[in-house]
Amino acid sequence: MINYINKKFLIEEKSTSIKTEIIAGFTTFLTMAYIIVVNPQMMADAGMNYGASFVGTCLAAAIACFVMGFYANWPVGLAPGMGLNAFFTYTVVGEMGYNWEVALGAVFLSGLLFFLISITQLRAWLLNNIPSNMRISMGVGVGLFIGFVGLRMGGIISPNEATYLGLGDIKNTETILACLGFILIAALSVRKFSGAILIGILLITLFAFLTGRVEFNGFISSPPSLAPIFLELDIIGAFDIAMISVVMSFLFVNFFDTTGTLLGVANQTKLTDESGNTYNLKQALNADSSSSFLGTFFGCSPVTSYIESTSGVEAGGRTGLTAVVVGILFLLATFFSPIASIIPPYATAGALIYVAMLMFFAIRLFDWSDITEVIPCLLTIIIIPLTFSIANGIALGFISYILIKILTGKSSDLNFGIVLLGVIFGLKFLFL
């Protein structure tokens, strides 16, 4: 077995060891394990069975990690992505009124398109045709969207008749706990605690238990049945003209987020040589993109690579064995549903707010030298959380980009790809 592992994952060639890879896998899992708590809560808000969604989240993540580890040999953990799960629940299902089965169908279609893009030259075409600032703005806008959801879940903001939105009741105990959770997570993260987000969630839950706000049901049990959500996606229902912008939003955010994450991990693990060639990048993209639509079979919004994987890299992870360990831990997590089921929304609110802050940091990568580039991107960032729709933010961002370039005499900056996307989004607003 040891010889197989050494040979399969090129342990010696990567100057690492099996022990180091296992430690790295544990480290990565701890930093991203919060998703097995947060994602089922969001999916339950969309009408899905909580227990089934908990198991589905763990299984989809485990399979994706195994594919990444065995096929691409990259030390990257995968799971349902933050932001797109909120878009799935609160926009596609909540605001647009589609049932969760149709929403899963849209995720499947976007994942299939992502896979086709990854195995063809369309990947390079997309990267070359979408301006860098626009790509960054999507991720930042999604981050603010997540933060908005967290602030609302924690009662930190609430509806206000006079101003539409106002400060919540900060004297409310649950709101105080949500704020405390955010502070704890931020402080632990700054002090480099592995699994800071998970620790913060569990500490707030522990306090809620000690004060009688939640009821303890044990630590371990048989995994809940996956049957209520397994293979329940409605692909035919997703072939609705109004779903075009939804599918494209899932696709763009997932594609650019994944590409940025994988390239970031590649640089950190020195998977890129002096000529700029990245080891098994195509395989890594294929593993991620295939996981995006395979996850829908288990009732998940797009499954994607996690930037938290860099924590495992810092711990010495260099090969796919790290990802395999993460996958095994996700499988073991299916037996801990009693703990996950008692975690209240206000305990996860702080985690969402903190993740939002991390995603917002990407705005520092903006090229601020051209105002005609910056304005549409800032509009995208603002519109996404304020309309509670990633699709609306991306659409208005592309449309405004094209119009501003034309009206300022910079139409030469436009290309066929971005004009085509702008026209498609424009038709969405005109006829839907």
Instruction: Give me the number of domains the chain comprises.
Output: 1
Output the CA–CA distances (angstroms, integers) from residue 282 to 8, 31, 73, 131, 317, in the order listed: 18, 26, 11, 22, 20
Binning pLDDT at 50, 70 and 90, where does residue 5 land? confident
When mean pLDDT is compared across 137-141, 259-263, 292-296, 315-319, the lowest value belongs to 259-263
Residue 412 makes CB contacts below 8 A (sequence gap 6+) with: none
pTM here is: 0.86
Please give the pLDDT value at position 431.
Answer: 64
- The residue segments making up the domain with residue 377 are 2-431
Least confident range of 76-80, 183-187, 365-369: 365-369
Alpha-carbon distance of 377 to 383, in angstroms, equals 10
pLDDT > 70? residue 189? yes
pLDDT band at 236 (very low <50, low <70, confident <90, very high): very high
Least confident of 42-56, 122-136, 239-253, 400-414: 122-136
Q: Number of H helices and number of E strands within the chain? A: 19, 4
Above 90 in pLDDT, residue 279?
Answer: no
Q: What band does 101 get if pLDDT is binned at 50, 70 and 90?
A: very high
Most confident of 25-34, 56-65, 91-100, 127-136: 56-65
Position 276 pLDDT exceeds 70: no
Percent of the chain predicted with pLDDT > 90: 50
Q: Which residues pair with 80 in a beta bridge?
A: 303
pLDDT above 70 covers a percentage of the chain that reads 98
Work out the pLDDT band at 258, boundaries 50, 70, 90. Answer: confident
SS3 166: strand
pLDDT computed for residue 378 by the predictor? 95
How is residue 30 written in tokens? 């701890």
Tens digit of pLDDT for each residue in 371-425?
A: 999 999 999 999 989 988 888 888 899 999 999 999 999 999 898 888 888 888 8
